[in-house]
Every structure is written in C-alpha cells, then in structure tokens.
Amino acid sequence: MQPGWMGSKFYRTCDWVWKLAYVNLLWLMFTFLGLIVFGFLPATVAMFAVIRKWLMKETDVPIFLTFIQMLKKDFLRINLLGSAFLIVGYILYFNYHYLGSIDGIMHSILALGWYIGCFIFAVTFLFIFPVYVHYDLKLSQYFKTALIVGIVNPLALLTLFISLGLALYLFYLIPGLIPFFSASMLGLLVTWCAHMSFQRTERKKEKLAS
C-alpha cells in the first residue's frame, strides 16, 4: 500500500509543493543573513543548484546540505558576476534618462539600441543562474553562454516569458504565496526552460559531430 501511495500524483504534487516552500524559505533566510546585497546572488545560485538536481531526477538529495555547500562554494565568485550586472544595469538606467534629453532621429536610433540592450540584459540575467550551476566555465564565459542558451531556442524563451508572466499574476492575485513560493517557483520555471535549451544545444552538437 505504501509504495502505491507514494507513487500517486497527489503525493508527488504535495512533495513538490513542500520542497519548493522549503527551498524558498532557505533562500529568504540566507538572503537576509547576507544583508540582501551580499546574500541575494549566492542564495539564488544555491536555490538553482537544488532545483537543477530535482530536474535531473536527483529528487532525494539533502536540500539543506546541498544549499549550504553551494552557498559556501562560490560566495565571492557569484558576487563578482553580480557586480558586472549592477554596472551594466546602471549604464542602461543612465542611458534611459539621457534619452529624455534628445529628440529626432538620433533619439529613435539610440532608443532602438537601448531596447536591444535591455533585451540582452534581461535574457542574460535570467539564464545566468541555470548556466552557472550547469556548466563549469571561466567567469567571463558565463555571460556569453547564458545569452546563447537564452536565444538558441526561441520557443523556450517565449515559454519562459509567458510562464513568468502567469506566475507573477498569480502572486498578484494571491500575495500570501509570495513568502513561500515566489523565488522557488520562478527559479523552477527558469531552470526548466533552460534545461530545454541545454538539451537542444546538446542535440545540435551531436548532429554536427555525426
């Protein structure tokens, strides 16, 4: 009786709900322990590392231990990546205000460049976390790889944007879910779409090699 119960859809759904809530609370706790500024990115990477293992069928990994190991492993490295995003984000913010001071065709040209830059920034930022926990690369290579993974499969990217939009709308309708599922649910959606892109990239490599 027990194996049949544990294999039921209801049990698996409850198990996923509990795990997502647990890893989300860990993310919140260690983000605040790092005073947000220094804790946000390491805690986010640790959360993505746990979620990746789930999607790789390693569902029985010790969540807390895996989270802590990843948190300690790359605390400084991931904050360096975050500093690069902060600098680029500030440049985009500065350029946004600069666009308001010009007009004419120059404004149109620069505005187009600004929108393209924001798109590249958003895609790279979304996929940098699953790429970071999936590949072992040099620090500078993560940005290029995250962008490639994000755009190599337009369907996965479109699916991600729609899924994130629906998830954010759900949190808007039910704010009580935010402390328990906000980061983990968004992380699951991003990792799942990135995983589709990883598989597509691997299939392309296999075709080229054959």
Which pLDDT value is given to residue 1? 42
Structural contact between residues 197 and 152, judged by C-beta atoms closer than 8 angstroms: yes
Provide the mean pLDDT of the chain.
86
Structural contact between residues 150 and 127, judged by C-beta atoms closer than 8 angstroms: yes
Residue-wise pLDDT tens digits, 19-68? 999 999 999 999 988 777 788 889 999 999 999 999 888 878 899 999 99
> How many CA atoms are closer than 13 Å to the CA of 20, on its beta-carbon side?
20
Structural contact between residues 200 and 153, judged by C-beta atoms closer than 8 angstroms: yes
Share of residues in the chain with pLDDT > 70 (%): 95
- Terminal Cα-to-Cα distance of the chain (whole angstroms): 48
| Higher local confidence (pLDDT), 1 or 188 | 188
pLDDT reading at 88 higher than 60: yes
pLDDT reading at 159 higher than 80: yes
- The torsion angle over the Cα atoms of residues 18, 19, 20 and 21, rounded to 10 degrees, is 50
| Higher local confidence (pLDDT), 209 or 33 | 33
Q: How confident is the model at residue 101 (pLDDT cuts 50, 70, 90)?
A: confident
Please report, for residues 53, 54, 55, 135, the alpha-carbon distance to residue 59 in angstroms, rounded to integers and kept in the order given. 7, 5, 8, 20
pLDDT reading at 2 higher than 60: no
pLDDT reading at 96 higher than 90: no
- Which residues, other chains included, contact 112 with Cβ-Cβ below 8 Å and sequence gap of 6+? none
Give dist(CA 78, CA 114) in Å, integer: 26
Q: How confident is the model at residue 107 (pLDDT cuts 50, 70, 90)?
A: confident
Distance of CA 92 to the CA centre of its chain: 21
One-letter amino acid for residue 83 of the chain: S
Q: If you average pLDDT over residues 15-21, what whole number do you get?
A: 90
| Higher local confidence (pLDDT), 95 or 166 | 166
Which pLDDT value is given to residue 210? 65
